[in-house]
Amino acid sequence: MEERYRFVLDWRSGDWEMAQLCRLYAVSRTTGYKWAERYERLGMDGLRDRSRAPLHHPNQVAPELEDLVIALRERHPTWGAPKLRALFRRDFPDQPLPAESTVGELLRRNGLTVARKRKRTSRRATEPLAHAGAPNAVWCADYKGWFRTADLTRIDPFTLTDAYSRYLLRCQALDAADHAHTKPVIEAALREFGLPQRIRTDNGPPFGTNGESGLTALAVWFIKLGIVPEHIEPGKPQQNGRHERMHRTLKQETAAPPAGTRRAQQRRFDHFREEYNEQRPHQALNQNPPASYYHNSPRTYPERLREPDYPADWDVRRVSAGGQFRWHSDKVFVGHALIDEPIGLEAVDEHRWRVWFHFYEVGTLDRGELSVRRPKPNVAPSPAPTEPSAHGAASSRPPGSLR
């Protein structure tokens, strides 16, 4: 800056021509005239270093547009740049749409983001839910971990989603995670939305058991309705990953911190369910909300449950009060959940039989054994070749199916 000031003083002295002076200071005449003009206009401040960034950028975000993005973030404080951009497109179609990176930069610049710790990436599990190719092909049910409200009331949130569309069918605060409280909520959803082909759960009560058949009263009820119960493998919640990911969002939006009372907490759940289904863009759904992909099942809830119709060459036994049935002068244990239900035995060979309940393979029975062994813990016993189609119609009648 001092060198430039001496240049200007020499120029103003009138003893030098610009070309001579520029050769002496080893600068171009353009630079020399620029320094002289800035000094005349701004004084010493005109000789300071200036940023080379352009004063005006053609792609610079207008302040009005930035205000709109910040306002959307205030309405949805947990949403990131992809979802806010999708909401911006929907709510302000007349405004120029900013890039996703621009929205992220606006949030960062205004201190509205928190950097996450990088996690080791793992291979995404796709096989367990590969058959969820249409609405109502697979529903996922689970209990979100319990917590207490501010008045110390215990909350057991039960959730039910459609795996294909991610539509949240139910989000209910129940008194206990048992059969008596779970069944009415699922029944109400089945009456409202129709019957899915399968319902996927974990192995804990009231959905699963470590008993011989692995069936609970809830699973038996599913089968009688024509729904295949699926159980993930023990210790592998990633097999129900879509549902577990929803649980993380549910906790962020409704329980961090919890509400003051059970009623207030349920109001949060209801608001979350409406926003999650109708407004919140989902990255796996092309930034559309789940409601745009879901429709009710054509399989309506039956008014009466029918008895199974087993083939004529099968042996049919009714399970007694002890969860057993008589077979070749022995009592064979099959499970308490099947008490008073008729089961069918299909002969595989002279020493082994398959045990069925309706269309569901309960397990196998070997001669001389006193209990039924369930099939290997796969994704679930499945009548895959003959299960109902995506629209609820059966391609052919499976063994023991309802007429």
pLDDT of residue 121: 45
Q: Which helix H or strand E contains 156, and what residues bound it?
A: strand 154-162
Whether 315 and 344 have beta carbons less than 8 Å apart is answered as yes
Whether residue 257 lies inside any domain: the answer is yes
301 vs 350: which has the higher pLDDT: 301
**Residue 78's domain spans which residues?**
63-109
In this structure, are 260 and 225 located in the same domain? yes
pTM over the 0.75 mark = no
d(CA 349, CA 265): 57
Give the pLDDT score at 118.
61
**Do 382 and 285 fall within a single domain?**
no
When pLDDT is cut at 50, 70 and 90, the band that residue 376 belongs to is low
Indicate whether 39 belongs to any domain.
yes
Q: Flag the least confident range among 315-324, 357-366, 390-399.
A: 390-399
Same domain, 179 and 258: yes
Q: What is the mean pLDDT of the chain?
A: 84
Q: What is the pLDDT of residue 47?
A: 84
3 state DSSP class of 284: helix
Same domain, 202 and 178: yes
List of long-range contacts for 3-11, beta carbons under 8 Å, 24+ apart: 4/35, 4/47, 5/39, 5/44, 5/47, 7/32, 7/35, 8/35, 8/36, 8/39, 8/47, 11/36
Per the structure block, which two tokens stand in for 301?
């809830």
Q: Which of 277, 292, 307 is the last residue of a domain?
A: 292
Residues 159 and 235 in one domain: yes
Answer whether residue 378 is part of any domain: yes
pLDDT single digits (tens) 152-189: 999 999 999 999 999 999 999 998 899 999 999 999 99
Q: State whether 209 and 287 are in the same domain.
A: yes
pLDDT band at 76 (very low <50, low <70, confident <90, very high): confident
Residues 134 and 182 in one domain: yes
319 and 269, same domain (yes or no):
no
Same-domain pairing of 200 and 279: yes
Summarised one tens digit per residue, pLDDT across range 245-263 is: 899 999 999 998 999 999 9
Q: What is the DSSP string of 311-365?
A: -TTSEEEE--TTSEEEETTEEEE--GGGTT-EEEEEEEETTEEEEEETTEEEEEE
User: Is residue 211 one of the residues assigned to a domain?
Assistant: yes
Res 56 pLDDT > 60 = yes
Q: What is the CATH number of the domain that holds 204?
A: 3.30.420.10
Q: Is residue 43 assigned to a domain?
A: yes
CATH code for the domain of 80: 1.10.10
Note whether residue 101 is domain-resident: yes
The answer on 174 and 222 residing in a single domain is: yes
Whether residue 214 is found in the same domain as residue 270:
yes
Q: Is the predicted pLDDT of residue 392 greater than 60, yes or no? A: no
98 pLDDT band, cuts 50/70/90, is confident
Number of domains into which the chain is organized: 4
68: in domain:
yes
Is 175 inside a domain boundary?
A: yes
Segment 304-342, tens digit of pLDDT? 988 899 999 999 999 999 899 998 888 999 989 999 999
On whether both 154 and 205 belong to a single domain, the answer is yes
275 pLDDT exceeds 90?
A: yes
